[in-house]
Amino acid sequence: MTNGIPPLGFGTFGRSGTAGIDALLFALETGYRHLDTAQSYGTEWECGEAFRRSGLPRSEVFLTTKITGDNSRKGKLIESLQRSNETIGVDAVDLTLIHWPVSPGGRLPMDEYLSELAKAQDTGLTRLIGVSNFTIADIEEAETILGPDCLATNQFERHPLLRNQKLVDACASHRIAVTCYLPLARGRCAGIPAIEAVARAHDATPHQIALAVSLCEGHIVIPTSGEPARIAQNYAAGDITLSSDELDAIRAADRNERQINPIWSPAWD
Ligand SMILES: NC(=O)c1ccc[n+]([C@@H]2O[C@H](COP(=O)([O-])OP(=O)(O)OC[C@H]3O[C@@H](n4cnc5c(N)ncnc54)[C@H](OP(=O)(O)O)[C@@H]3O)[C@@H](O)[C@H]2O)c1
């Protein structure tokens, strides 16, 4: 279940400047049709520029941005999203996420920023809305504020070494699509015997298998790379179909090994 979000997206953290535009353009030429940026990444302009250079119609490229903690404050969210749209060079993005439920300066009232986010959607600044790094308690609280079926996705860390299954199941029960960030565990899936064995059987790399697992389970992945060969290799993971035995073997490799855990993180499930 992806709620209309293209399942194979391209992450843009670190893809700034000329090298970033080159990587983004190569990703679009390879076939990616979903770019994941954020106000805090400094890559919103690069996404717009790569999109323009690609010559693709606007309807074919799905653009996501994320609202920073400071911009989540009342009176700032809508203005900041207008600025993001201007920076990217579009009238509206396809998806806007609240980047973290807890801002670096302390917790913000959820009803305040979610109401603003819903208003941004109503006024046409974003087609879909969602959240990122929300826990089960957070998505339950969000649903009491917005009502059911308002959040398109929750984006959080997920890869074979951190399957985050309780949260994945909770999202499914609320019909919220799962977007897996760090889907390659930043390269740490290499050398894991269960993943390597499946990779050999498919003449694939362990990184491709890491992506294929979440894709076969029906989730969205947003890997990134600055290397054309890897950008293409990651895209080709979308063609790999894993058997239920292979999926079970890789599921057993879960180590609950989290890599993104800043000081403002919520109490993870
Ligand atoms: N919502 C959030 O709070 C949040 C947090 C973190 C990330 N994100 C999003 O998720 C995206 C992906 O996360 P990420 O970039 O941190 O992690 P990732 O996609 O899991 O890993 C990227 C790293 O793996 C390497 N890599 C890429 N493809 C490879 C391949 N085929 N073989 C071997 N190594 C490979 C890349 O190096 P090279 O460039 O050298 O290839 C890069 O260092 C980000 O760009 C961002 O859009 C969101």
Which residue from 186, 192, 211 has its CB within 8 A of the most atoms of ligand 1, so it is best to mutate? 186
Write out the chain's pLDDT in tens, 269 residues: 999 999 999 999 999 999 999 999 999 999 999 999 999 999 999 999 999 999 999 999 999 999 999 999 888 999 999 999 999 999 999 999 999 997 766 778 899 999 999 999 999 999 999 999 999 999 999 999 999 999 999 999 999 999 999 999 999 999 999 999 999 999 999 999 999 999 999 999 999 999 999 999 999 999 999 999 999 999 999 999 999 999 999 999 999 999 999 999 999 99
Tokens of 170: 């909770």
Set 32, 41, 113, 181: catalytic member: 41
Q: Check residue 107 and give left, alpha or beta (phi > 0: left; psi -120 to 50: alpha).
A: beta
Name residues contacting ligand 1 (CB within 6 A). Answer: 11-13, 36, 99, 132-133, 155, 181-187, 207, 222-227, 230, 233-234, 260
185 C-alpha to ligand 1 centroid (Å): 7
Ligand 1 atom nearest to CA at 97: 1
186 C-alpha to ligand 1 centroid (Å): 5
Q: Nearest CA to 4 among 129, 124, 156? A: 129
Is 41 marked active-site?
A: yes
- CB 81: neighbour CB atoms within 10 A? 24
23 C-alpha to ligand 1 centroid (Å): 13
Residue 104 pLDDT: 65
According to DSSP, the β-strands at 177-181 and 151-157 are parallel
Starting at the edge strand found earlier in the chain, the sheet holding 151-157 runs: 10-11, 34-36, 62-67, 93-98, 126-132, 151-157, 177-181, 220-221
Contacting residues for 170 by C-beta, under 8 A, at least 6 apart: 136, 139, 140, 269
How many CA atoms are closer than 13 Å to the CA of 15, on its beta-carbon side? Answer: 31
122 C-alpha to ligand 1 centroid (Å): 32
Residue 155 dihedral angles phi and psi, to the nearest 5°: -100, 125
Give the Å distances, CA to CA, from 207 to 131, 189, 223: 26, 6, 10
Which residue from 12, 13, 159, 264 has its CB within 8 A of the most atoms of ligand 1, so it is best to mutate? 13
Protein residue with least CA distance to atom 16, ligand 1 = 182
